[in-house]
Structure 1
């Protein structure tokens, strides 16, 4: 993938760690290799920045990373993966991720998320208000888009629906595992009115239990105390190992009205894993979830 590839993200995260360890600022690092501090920041965030091998080497010298040593070897293995991936994308004529054709239809922070979702092998999401985009019908998505931007053009709205449909293609990938934990409140939400809600609920009924790589379970409103009440909505993304066999750690994405947070610290990841375990403890089985969805659909369709 282009944009924020896994090797690029891993390289940036390690370079950030070495810079912080060396107590150097992004400004100082940029001056050392003739890049702006903003470029250093983008590189550390896993974004594409024009940089060469000699500049990478100069940064490692500036950060006092020992030579020779395992840390340097790891950096250059990742750098080689970044270059190999860029060359492969260029030869294939795909220098951008498919979602970047729709950048005019989503907030800037969501570009990074879409790049991560495109390469994740396991996604676990807990939602207390909104249905995940991977599960939304076109009419449900349309109602949400109009609520957020009543003045969106007809063409713009259709492009948003196209984007949602392209994202959902990944559900057919057996190597992409998706575990969805939904508050009952999400199932009872009615963007677009009862008719749209019934259509959405019937779509969920068709998905529950239909794919080996997809699990959808509801958290009843009367499920008592659990960590999901504190964690609120979040998505945990997990990734395959890199070609160099280096482990690529998971990331938690938390979306808010004003932007998104990307949490990578080990203690934060573990807290969210504990929340997931507690949510799974109180969640209905898929069969019981199906019964609840059927019950709500019957109420709204009456």
Structure 2
């Protein structure tokens, strides 16, 4: 069954706390004793479920126990703050590009590391997971033409690191692409030729599927949607509950993460329609 009360912010916080505890070689039971809570509650905290143990006092206590750096402590406290704010507004997360409140945390990487399946719809730009370096570089320069070269290269490097996720055979990616995304010549004809060859190679992988919705397909739901990614997650080992899906929408001024069931349902229903449109 789905994990009620589990939000992306909570799950990101739990994932980071678990990683820090493992690195410090502290057992879950020992960490629970320090906080004065049960091991079951500690397990719920690390699995991103709703608990009353995400206060700054508890977070600082765990940071002291795990001997974290100042940067890691700031990240934990920022995630805990976002967890509380997300709970107040009932889910969802907007991360403005120019005002990142958690600068040392990349939600995309955190999501893809946890996910077991990704289904994406691309309208104009191909998803990061299937881009070549030159394609990524062309998109980056278009998005930020006045940025320093080292900033552009850092962005490209970060995107390439995310593509390692495709090397995991237990992770599956279904990429549905509008013909427009293949016609738009990011970086020019040579860059697009290399990109198309790369897509063909990726499509031969058993865990990757890439299909195109042609211009000739009429009245399909993709014409009403912008690009998005739907990520699905595994069952959690302790509670045996399934983590709910998340929709990621990349905008020009930031990233939107949707997790309310009604919102997710609309995107989930779009995937089979897009799949059928790609088969016509």
User: Could you say which residue in structure 2 is the equivalent of 1:197?
Assistant: 192
SS at match of 2:205: coil
User: Could you say which residue in structure 2 is the equivalent of 1:174?
Assistant: 169
Is contact 1:228–1:276 with CA below 8 Å preserved after alignment?
no
Give the one of 248, 251, 254 matched to 1:253. 248
User: Could you say which residue in structure 2 is the equivalent of 1:144?
Assistant: 139
Q: 1:215: Cα distance to partner?
A: 0.1
1:78 equivalent to 2:10? Answer no
User: Could you say which residue in structure 1 is the equivalent of 2:82?
Assistant: none
**Which is worse superposed, 110-119 or 134-143?**
110-119
* Structure ID, larger Rg: 1
Q: Residues 43 and 236 (structure 1 numbering): CA distance in 2 closer, same or farther, change over 3 Å?
A: closer
Structure 1 segments unaligned to the other structure (5+ residues) = 1-9, 17-41, 59-71, 97-105, 286-302
1:228 equivalent to 2:222? Answer yes
Structure 2 segments unaligned to the other structure (5+ residues) = 18-30, 54-61, 73-96
Q: 1:74: Cα distance to partner?
A: 7.0
Give the one of 209, 212, 216 matched to 2:206. 212
Give the one of 177, 183, 198 matched to 2:178. 183
Give the one of 265, 270, 273 matched to 2:268. 273
How many pairs does the alignment contain? 219
Is contact 1:220–1:284 with CA below 8 Å preserved after alignment?
no
Following the alignment from structure 1 to structure 2, what is the Cα–Cα distance between the partners of residues 251 and 201? 28
Equivalent runs, 1:28-39 vs 2, <5 Å: none
Following the alignment from structure 2 to structure 1, what is the Cα–Cα distance between the partners of residues 234 and 134? 34
Q: 1:138: Cα distance to partner?
A: 0.9
Superposition TM-score, scaled by structure 2 size: 0.67
Q: Residues 232 and 80 (structure 1 numbering): CA distance in 2 closer, same or farther, change over 3 Å?
A: closer
User: Could you say which residue in structure 2 is the equivalent of 1:121?
Assistant: 116
Following the alignment from structure 2 to structure 1, what is the Cα–Cα distance between the partners of residues 190 and 9? 47
User: Could you say which residue in structure 2 is the equivalent of 1:132?
Assistant: 127
Q: 1:160: Cα distance to partner?
A: 2.1
Is contact 1:238–1:250 with CA below 8 Å preserved after alignment?
yes
Alpha-carbon RMSD across the aligned residues, in angstroms, is 3.7
Per-residue CA deviations over 1:94-146 (Å, capped at 9, x if unaligned) read x97xxxxxxxxx76388212211111100000011110111111111111111
Q: Greater helix percent: which structure?
A: 1
Superposition TM-score, scaled by structure 1 size: 0.62
User: Could you say which residue in structure 1 is the equivalent of 2:153?
Assistant: 158
Following the alignment from structure 1 to structure 2, what is the Cα–Cα distance between the partners of residues 223 and 231? 15
Following the alignment from structure 2 to structure 1, what is the Cα–Cα distance between the partners of residues 219 and 195? 28
Per-residue CA deviations over 1:38-59 (Å, capped at 9, x if unaligned) read xxxx965844799x979x999x
State the structure with bigger RCO (CA 8 A, min sep 6), 1 or 2: 2
Following the alignment from structure 2 to structure 1, what is the Cα–Cα distance between the partners of residues 118 and 147? 30
Following the alignment from structure 2 to structure 1, what is the Cα–Cα distance between the partners of residues 256 and 227? 12
